Structure 1
Amino acid sequence: MPVVTPFEEHTDRYDRWFERHDAAYESELAAVRDALPSVSAEAVVEIGVGSGKFAAPLDIGLGVDPSRAMLDRARERGVTTIQGVAEAVPLRDDSVAAAALVTTICFVDDVARTLAEARRVLVPGGTLAIGFVDRKSPLGERYRENQGSNPFYRDATFVAVPDLLDAMGNAGFVDLGTVQTLFGEPASMDEPDPVASGWGDGSFVVVSGRVPD
């Protein structure tokens, strides 16, 4: 079952994190933007769009999410929304040029099925970008230590970069790449961190891949 209840009950709290940690938020936006191709808003979907905090500034026109409260908030931010889950994306085959999952992969029930669905809805040559807090990073370790006290992460399954790269390869994605940011503690950041290639130093990583032509 999708993790919905905390997002229904704590929509405002979800948005406030990004407002309180604006520099970290801008860093994450920059990393996801770096991994996405330049295509029209209508050609991009965010799977697990949440409140639209990423889709709206990234000019992603379409969002899918199981939470009605989150979809309402995303719609207010100008995103066209569809209720659905990552393992059964309610879009046609070969219908979008790019897809993003941002801070979502730790909440899906089935990573392999999620990646298969993303590949199905992407056109040949289309790009998938997945942004997440690396399980083995300092921030990922802290989130796991405090998992029981956080309503959002209580039921999350954090993912490590090598495991996701393997899963994307197994799903048929090629030209895999990674970028990273958040090299320190989000609460102490006064300005956005840079986006660097690779992984292992930054807590927030974007793994991307392409559907073969």
Structure 2
Amino acid sequence: MPKTAPFEAHTERYDNWFEEHEDAYQSEIAALGRLLETTGYRVEIGVGSGRFAAPLGMQVGIDPAQEMLGYARARGIDVVRGVAEHLPFADDSFDTALIVTTICFVDDVPRTLAEAERVLGPSGTLVIGYIDEDSPVGQRYLETKETNPFYRDAVFVSTEELVEALEAAGFTEFDFVQTIYHWVDEIDGPEPIAEGFGEGSFVGLKAAR
């Protein structure tokens, strides 16, 4: 079952996090912007409150949390209620699919990636933004997850695990960027953005076939 309960109950708290951690948020936006195409028809899977979809130019967003969709709609996103494992879109519908800080919440990662691959056109790309399980922030979230209503049921993944799952879904070409080198409460100013992964806790991954 989708892990929607905390997002329905604490929607405002979730959305306010981005204002309280503006520098971390803008660093993640900038990192993902380096990977995303600027044209074409674009969807965010797990759109949440639209905090990433709106500034990154996603036209469509899907999420199982009804309260979150209200926020995303107010930010100009064409929203659909549904889950990542069963996308209500036809094959080859989109040029870009985006999944940000969502992969740790889905019930079935392989199914989610297979669905993303299905709804992308032949030259389409999938961009995933996530906290690497092996990173300092990822390890801290794991250590404190029982005290956080959002991360209590999260299952974090490492970059190696995600690439393996993407390859199984049919993706063969990968590009990476990374950012967030400090604990989020200690960030003061934009974080550097670099290619690759293994140093920054937030990783952006672009996958193509």
Aligned to 1:117: 115
CA distance in structure 1 between the partners assigned to 2:193 and 2:84 by the alignment:
27
Amino acid at match of 2:136: P
Equivalent position of 1:102 in the other structure: 100
Mean Cα deviation higher: 189-198 or 121-130 = 189-198
Cα offset, 1:120, TM superposition: 0.3
**Any gaps of 5 or more consecutive residues in structure 2?**
none
Is residue 159 of structure 2 the alignment partner of residue 161 of structure 1? yes
Q: Which residue of 2 aligns with 1:173?
A: 171
Identical aligned residues as a percent: 53
Ranges in structure 1 where 5+ consecutive residues have no aligned partner: none
Aligned AA (1:27): S
| Equivalence for 2:181 | 183
Root-mean-square deviation (Å):
0.8
CA-CA distance at 1:192 after TM superposition: 1.2
Q: How does 1:1-213 map to 2 (within 5 A)?
A: 1-40=1-40, 43-211=41-209
| TM-score, normalisation: structure 1 | 0.96
Q: Which runs of 4+ in 1 moved over 3 A?
A: none
Q: Verify the 8 A CA contact 2:50 2:71 in the aligned structure 1.
A: yes
Question: How many residue pairs were aligned?
Answer: 209
* Equivalent-residue separation in structure 1 for 2:153 and 2:186 (angstroms): 27
Deviation at 1:188, TM superposition (A): 1.8
How far off is 1:108 after superposition? Answer: 0.5
Which segment drifts farther, 50-59 or 180-189?
Answer: 180-189
Encode CA deviations 1:23-82: one digit per residue, 9 max, x unaligned.
000011111111111214xx0000000000000011111000000000011000100000
Taking structure 2 as the reference length, the TM-score comes to: 0.98
